[in-house]
Structure 1
Amino acid sequence: MKATMCNAKAVLLTLAIALVCTPLPRAASVPDPVSTAVHEAFAPLLQTYDVPGIAVAVIEDGTPAFFNFGIASKESGTPVSQDTLFEIGSLSKTFTATLAASAETTGTISLTEQPGRYMPALRGTSLDAARLLDLAAYTAGGLPLQFPETVRTDADMTAYFQQWRPAAPPGHLREYSNPSIGLLGHVTALAAGRPFVDLVEDDLLPRLGLRHTYIDVPEAAMGSYAWGYDKADNPVRVNPGVFDAQAYGVKSTAADMIRFIDVNLRPGQVDPPLNSAVRATHVGRYQVGPMVQGLGWEQYGYPVALDSLLQGNSADMAMKPHPATPVTAAQAPGLFNKTGSTDGFGAYAAFVPQERIGIVMLANRNFPIAARVTAAKSVLDALAASH
């Protein structure tokens, strides 16, 4: 489906709406310094990066607040709300990791096993020297960021993994990779004997209390699905691909995502097996520069300097291999974060368990990650200072 061209009157209306922030009623309970910090950090981004709309949610001690900027669609001019569906890109990986951790609590999989145990076509291959944990932490030995364009089907995917050769032994090199986390989700589904999408949408999301989060957006929810905008300002939505669901395919709302952050801050509110799984995603696995790679989440000691967050979320960290050192001792939980992007959307989430605070930002433009991290960090600092 293609968006129609807006007339001049609609464009002016769009611009006017985009420059207005509308906090929801619950935001009134947020301390003034926090509300001010949200407005000062995020409102300028609409104009600076030509972002049509941004939804921000913060949480402190279990109480959420919502701040909405701009519009979900340039064609309709519909304002962003906490119930607007955004593509969350690679933040989807935190759901895949949580699903895998949950499957381990039930004995369905073991993260210390090789993928060939659950996917016989990989037995005896170079990839089968790695563990599922290495797939989760991107340390299988140098799997690439994306599949080659020739990988278009599950058969292509299997053939690719069968011929793949590592650049390093498992556990020595961290190279951020959609195929890596995608294979983790795939073998988890094979072990469970159910499609990955069904495991997430029919089991995991309801247990987390997320009622408006999807991989496949149902027709009844399409009216809430924002349009993303690419570099040429064309309206776009995510393209299908091998392992899209596992790596970057989740669509969610600010209300649901801050609920997910709250579960990560207070895992005791979900059922005991899921509680254990959420806690397992917080365990640091590999030290990589300033960041510790866990299952889905990336973490830092707290308090953390902005420079460290920017380095850990940099293009260099995402696009290049880096030495990885196994974490052998338990660490105090610090700041956890994850970015996400598709062609037309940008997202960021972060939380600090010891401060009981968190933030989610969802946007329908893939604008620079450094700007997202910088804005969110300033709001987290305001939340921490408000205690």
Structure 2
Amino acid sequence: MKILAPKRLAAIAAAALLCTPATYAADKVDQRQLERAVNEAIAPMMKAHNVPGMAIAVTAGGRQYFFNYGVTAKRGGKPVTDSTLFEIGSVSKTFTATLAGYAQARGAMSLSDPAGKYLPALAGSALGTTSLLDLGTYAAGGLPLQFPETVNNTQAMTDYFKAWRPTYAAGTHRRYSNPSIGLFGYLAARSLGEPFDDLMEKTLFPAFGLKRTYVRVPKALMADYAMGYTKDDKPTRVTPGVLDSEAYGVKTTSADMIRFVEASMSPAGLDDKLQRAIATTRTGYFKVGGMVQGLGWEVYAYPTPVSAILAGSSPQMVFEANKVDRLEPPQAPGADVLVNKTGSTNGFGAYVVFVPAKRIGLVMLGNKNMPVPARVEAAYHILTVLDGELAANR
């Protein structure tokens, strides 16, 4: 373990930057108790699901704690460290959302803009008049979880979006969708006039001080890139696909990801545009069940029982369309909330969660797609050690 010391929407988000929590629960951490809690949560999960390696990072009271388990690969693998690269799947969407917030802060686009403004080929189509906000919050009208197999290049993607017909009125239902937020990120990059991958690797990641976070892992670092494993324990890594970078393509380390979590909790000190971008991602746009949908992030009142978080990441929420209650005005990002996001690829599983008011957060990265409930339960167990108030609401 290593310890290291749209204009209206923009106005709401910017105002929230002035709000800071008054007290913290985790200023004093019993390191032995924390280590015991992490071991209690992670070791059984790895054994139950045959996970070769995991990296856990915790931030509490301004300090970072790293816990590493297992190996990067079953054959010839190295011990996992906080510098091991993992695929983070849909946690990538939080970076995509941040890029869009940054584009809005720069005046390149507005979340209220129609998609057709940045992709004229969509003119006359249902998606052409759909707002970027509805795309970014999976509320465009029922876009599916994945593209059909026939959509395998940019032209096929454009043709698919032009021909697509909504099942619901935009803004009324949430249907979790990689094509939806993928198009959102693609259009945000077009508004800035640069390729998405370049904007991530040359602008956004460096702006947060992330030194080992990539969409395209450099050849020189492939030895640090963990091998993922399928449910039947076959080695695998994510394969290229249309809008893969925007929806699920980021690879990062626990050290970089916990740095991003800290910035997302407390962006003071960052460039003003980045601060506004973070506030935009943590703004609540609609409610579905007990969860409030931000951009990329999913938000709950704090403290909240683990059952509420499990419901918010249930198969019903992932695979079905759910009617939403639009928040008017949008809910400014608060401190007394629990913010989280799960992510998976065929061979990897990730979970990120933080509570700004308590200055606590956790990153969980593994080279197998562990069941989401197991990740959430494990993380919740660790957080209860950091904040007794959460333990009382379990």
Question: What's the TM-score, normalizing by structure 1?
Answer: 0.92
Which residue of structure 2 lines up, in the alignment, with residue 104 of structure 1?
A: 104
Tell me how large the CA RMSD over aligned residues is: 1.6
Distance 1:290 1:105 in 2: 29
Aligned positions of 1:341-380 closer than 5 A: 341-380=344-383
Which residue of structure 1 lines up, in the alignment, with residue 139 of structure 2?
A: 139
Q: CA deviation at 1:32?
A: 2.4
Please say if 1:291 is aligned against 2:291.
Answer: yes
Partners of 1:181 and 1:246 within 8 A in 2: yes
**Equivalent position SS for 1:328:** strand
What do residues 25-68 of structure 1 show as CA deviations (whole Å, max 9, x unaligned)? 659x7532222111101111111100001100000122110000
What do residues 356-382 of structure 1 show as CA deviations (whole Å, max 9, x unaligned)? 100000000001000000000111111
Structure 1 unmatched ranges of 5 or more: 1-22
Which residue of structure 1 lines up, in the alignment, with residue 273 of structure 2?
A: 273
Which residue of structure 2 lines up, in the alignment, with residue 165 of structure 1?
A: 165
Q: CA deviation at 1:386?
A: 9.9
Partners of 1:33 and 1:386 within 8 A in 2: no
Which residue of structure 1 lines up, in the alignment, with residue 2 of structure 2?
A: 24
Opposite residue 372 of structure 2, the aligned amino acid is I
Partners of 2:136 and 2:180 within 8 A in 1: yes
Partners of 2:287 and 2:327 within 8 A in 1: yes
Please say if 1:127 is aligned against 2:127.
Answer: yes
Structure 2 unmatched ranges of 5 or more: 6-28
Partners of 1:172 and 1:323 within 8 A in 2: yes
Distance 1:216 1:116 in 2: 28
Change (3 A) 1:124 1:307: same
Percent identical pairs in the alignment equals 49
Change (3 A) 1:177 1:77: same
Distance 1:93 1:379 in 2: 24
Partners of 1:140 and 1:180 within 8 A in 2: yes
Distance 1:31 1:220 in 2: 35
Aligned positions of 1:14-53 closer than 5 A: 23-24=1-2, 31-53=31-53
Q: CA deviation at 1:124?
A: 1.7
Q: CA deviation at 1:314?
A: 1.0
Distance 1:283 1:137 in 2: 11
Distance 1:139 1:324 in 2: 9
**Equivalent position SS for 2:190:** helix
Partners of 2:98 and 2:281 within 8 A in 1: yes
What do residues 281-337 of structure 1 show as CA deviations (whole Å, max 9, x unaligned)? 110001011111100000000001110000001111111100011112535340000
Partners of 2:116 and 2:129 within 8 A in 1: no
What do residues 156-208 of structure 1 show as CA deviations (whole Å, max 9, x unaligned)? 00000000000111100000000000001111111111100000100000001
What do residues 220-264 of structure 1 show as CA deviations (whole Å, max 9, x unaligned)? 111110000012211110010000000000000000000000001
Partners of 1:34 and 1:386 within 8 A in 2: no
Partners of 2:205 and 2:213 within 8 A in 1: yes
Please say if 1:337 is aligned against 2:340.
Answer: yes
Opposite residue 361 of structure 1, the aligned amino acid is M
Which residue of structure 2 lines up, in the alignment, with residue 6 of structure 1?
A: none
Partners of 2:144 and 2:175 within 8 A in 1: yes
More relative contact order, 1 or 2 (CA 8 Å, 6+ apart)? 2
Partners of 1:96 and 1:247 within 8 A in 2: yes
Stretch moving more, 320-329 or 278-287: 320-329
Question: What's the TM-score, normalizing by structure 2?
Answer: 0.90
Which residue of structure 2 lines up, in the alignment, with residue 20 of structure 1?
A: none
Partners of 1:171 and 1:325 within 8 A in 2: no
Partners of 1:102 and 1:277 within 8 A in 2: yes
Partners of 2:4 and 2:63 within 8 A in 1: no
Which residue of structure 1 lines up, in the alignment, with residue 80 of structure 2?
A: 80
